[in-house]
Structure 1
Amino acid sequence: MAIFGLWIINKAGGLVYQRNFAEGLAPLTSNEYLVLAGTLHGIHAITSRISPAAGSSSGAQVIEGETFKMTIMLTATGTKFVLLTSLAETTADVILQKVYEAYSDAVMKNPFHTPEMPIRSEGFETRVTTVIGIGQS
């Protein structure tokens, strides 16, 4: 089991946080990450509209490839937390919830952080490192 990376996408589809944790995925440029985040944002919006079930849908929650899995958590504010893992990873939902808690405490309570802008917080980085370390043990 491996956790490859974490993305946080704002409600407009912009990538505000990206971090890699393990080797295994193709290396990308900053621009390629931005394009992928915007594309995922659009796909997520489409999947929330085409749900065959009655009522509303929160969109795609898991997207699987041949060698990795992308788990998506949508918050009440429209921010998306995306965890890229190996196919065998079973704790992605728990890890995303813990990352969201760290985001709420370290980023959103920071009076110097501007919402919807890139995240630059040492406290958040430290907490993400701790959460991912816990998730891989």
Structure 2
Amino acid sequence: MAIHGLWIINKAGGLVYQRNFAEGLAQLTSNEYLVLAGTLHGIHAITSRLSPTGSSSGAEVIEGESFKLTINLTLTGTKFVLLTSLTETTAEVILQKVYEIYADAVMKNPFHTPEMPIRSEGFDSKITTLIGSG
């Protein structure tokens, strides 16, 4: 698998989880990741309104020259974003599994406040098992 990173963006556009899984990615500051997440949130909102048929959930895949962003929007407005190589074909399946782990390890945690940063060793370890270390 060629997975480079995972972001979870809350419904307000705030980055609540970010993790890199590959060496060689640009080293960004936490503030730069927050700006990127907010920008992606805005782009996603705009693309949901551009559909010629009237209804759309927004961009699902954004491809760059050497990477691909796959976006899974949940019913609650939380976005799960996977940064992968262009050849990665299982991103949607992986994002669904990440969402299941999130629902189980984060949302069932009575000490987690919704829409706030995710600080869960259980979530981290399950993501490591699914994707790898980072």
TM over 0.5: yes
CA distance in 2, matches of 1:35, 1:55: 29
CA distance in 1, matches of 2:47, 2:80: 16
Moved over 6 A (4+): none
Which residues of structure 1 form unaligned runs of 5+? none
How much has 1:131 moved relative to structure 2? Answer: 1.2
1:101: which partner in 2? 100
Aligned AA for 1:49? R
CA distance in 2, matches of 1:77, 1:48: 15
1:68: which partner in 2? 67
1:91: which partner in 2? 90
Q: Is the 8 A contact 1:8 1:15 kept in 2?
A: yes
Aligned AA for 2:93? V
2:11: which partner in 1? 11
CA distance in 1, matches of 2:24, 2:80: 20
Between stretches 23-32 and 97-106, larger displacement belongs to: 23-32
1:127: which partner in 2? 126
How much has 1:56 moved relative to structure 2? Answer: 1.3
CA distance in 2, matches of 1:105, 1:17: 16
Residues 62-83 of structure 1, C-alpha deviations (whole Å, 9 max, x = no match)? 0000110000000000000000
Give the SS at the match of 2:18: strand
Give the TM-score taking structure 2 as reference length.
Answer: 0.96
How much has 1:25 moved relative to structure 2? Answer: 2.6
Count of aligned positions: 132
Q: Is the 8 A contact 1:68 1:84 kept in 2?
A: yes
1:81: which partner in 2? 80
CA distance in 2, matches of 1:100, 1:78: 12
User: How high is the sequence identity, in percent, across the aligned residues?
Assistant: 86
Q: Is the 8 A contact 1:107 1:124 kept in 2?
A: yes
